[in-house]
Structure 1
Amino acid sequence: MSAARLVISLVGMPGGGKSTVGRQLARQLGVRFVDSDTEIEARIGEPIRAFFDRSGEAAFRDIESQVLNELLAREGEFVLATGGGIVLREANRHLLHQASTVLYLRSTPEELFRRLRHDTQRPLLQVRDPLQKLRELYLQRNPLYRSVAHYVLETGRPSVHGLVNMALMQLELAGIIDPARVAATVGAEPAAC
């Protein structure tokens, strides 16, 4: 492995598993885990939904871009879980692609709906027909996620453990991480927590 610093960014639809997979991936790699939404909430001092409702999407996207710039300028190695709409701005897509290795966790709208149907915290899904909203978001965002991603991981059936191993294998095959750093354990049982 080269001396380049390891920064992995996860992109994908709301509820696609970015935070869950990112946390486990960071643990496997022995690096920090950073969630951009958590960083944004610390900055604004309130839940994203409250800020979104009060100030609107454009103001939220401005803060999201500022936080992304600051996060990717940080020293050290880490895994970054991003918000689902971070790819809406071209500058964010460019920065993510240039400053990190981007993994797109791709989920279908139907899979996402099964996971999110009872979620009340995601502002864009608080509508009469959340499945239709997810389909609209997917049509808009899937091409953007693909354009920024270095690698696409299908989230359909794999467990979190399976997704983390798929990510590790992809990163090893690409020469981004040294196989000696962490061995992907496909088929192995997850460690007891």
Structure 2
Amino acid sequence: MNTKNDVRAAPKATKAALVKRPGDKPIVLVGLMGAGKSSVGRRLAQELGLPFKDADAEIEAAANLSIPEFFELHGEPAFREGERKVIARLLKEPRHVLATGGGAFLDTKTQALIAKKGCSIWLRAELDILYKRCMKRNNRPLLKGGNPKAVLKKLMDERYPVYAKADITIDSGEGPHEIVVAKIIAALSSLKV
């Protein structure tokens, strides 16, 4: 699927079948910051006609604080606990597309919840792509100290083996998000119900 025509033509019948399958679990996107979980997630939800949820936005609404403010006031352990509770609540809702924060899947309890109640998709990206995307926004708490590219490389080394436990792995490259969405739809359609 290298052209836009392929991307748009291939999924029509597949999309309808995916949305109508009874008992399907929420689709949970995991991966490092900058992998495209929120942007791809919104487009995927739109393509499938499903609601989109962003775990970080839900956490911010529940805490009445931005993620950086939460980290600063309460620290990462408290954030991960709140994140786990929010994700557990969201996984009880009818089928939707859920974008999680970069560290969510690292928490073993959150990972177990996602494995039981969701279908996890790791959006994998190369270092240069992550760096380029992350530098567009200055609100990443884990990139505040030190060299951001070195921090991202360290996070990749630590987290990629954990993300690899996801049900599906999709490469998120520099091309249009529609290509990634088409890859996800194709991968989901090949799963057994």
Q: TM-score, normalised by structure 2?
A: 0.86
Instruction: Point out where structure 1 has 5 or more consecutive residues left out of the alignment.
Output: 177-193
What percent identity do the matched residue pairs reach? Answer: 35
Instruction: Point out where structure 2 has 5 or more consecutive residues left out of the alignment.
Output: 1-16
Local SS of the residue matching 1:104: strand
Tell me which residue corresponds to 1:110.
128
How far, CA to CA, are the matches of 1:78 and 1:118 in structure 2? 27
Tell me which residue corresponds to 1:151.
168
| Structure 1 stretches of 4+ moved >3 Å | none
How far, CA to CA, are the matches of 1:82 and 1:156 in structure 2? 19
Residue type at the aligned position of 2:167: H
Residue type at the aligned position of 2:183: M
Does the C-alpha gap of structure 1 residues 6 and 94 become closer, same or farther in structure 2, counting only changes over 3 Å?
closer
Shift of 1:105: 0.2
Are residue 140 (structure 1) and residue 161 (structure 2) matched? no
Tell me which residue corresponds to 1:12.
31
Are residue 88 (structure 1) and residue 106 (structure 2) matched? yes
- Number of corresponding residues: 174
Residue type at the aligned position of 2:170: L
Does the C-alpha gap of structure 1 residues 18 and 5 become closer, same or farther in structure 2, counting only changes over 3 Å?
same
Shift of 1:157: 3.3
Tell me which residue corresponds to 2:187.
170
Structure with the higher helix share, 1 or 2:
2
Local SS of the residue matching 2:121: strand
1:55 to 65, 71, 74: 74
Tell me which residue corresponds to 1:65.
84
Are residue 24 (structure 1) and residue 43 (structure 2) matched? yes
How far, CA to CA, are the matches of 2:97 and 2:33 in structure 1? 17
Shift of 1:175: 4.4
Local SS of the residue matching 1:56: helix
How far, CA to CA, are the matches of 1:156 and 1:110 in structure 2? 10
Residue type at the aligned position of 2:151: K
Tell me which residue corresponds to 2:13.
none
Shift of 1:11: 0.2
How far, CA to CA, are the matches of 1:89 and 1:104 in structure 2? 15
Asked whether the 8 Å contact 2:41–2:99 carries over to 1, the reply is yes
Residue type at the aligned position of 1:121: N
Shift of 1:119: 2.2
How far, CA to CA, are the matches of 1:28 and 1:66 in structure 2? 28
Residue type at the aligned position of 1:173: S
How far, CA to CA, are the matches of 1:23 and 1:118 in structure 2? 19
Local SS of the residue matching 2:164: helix
Q: Deviations over 1:168-189 (max 9, x none)?
A: 111112245xxxxxxxxxxxxx
Are residue 42 (structure 1) and residue 56 (structure 2) matched? no
1:120 to 135, 138, 141: 138
Residue type at the aligned position of 1:124: L
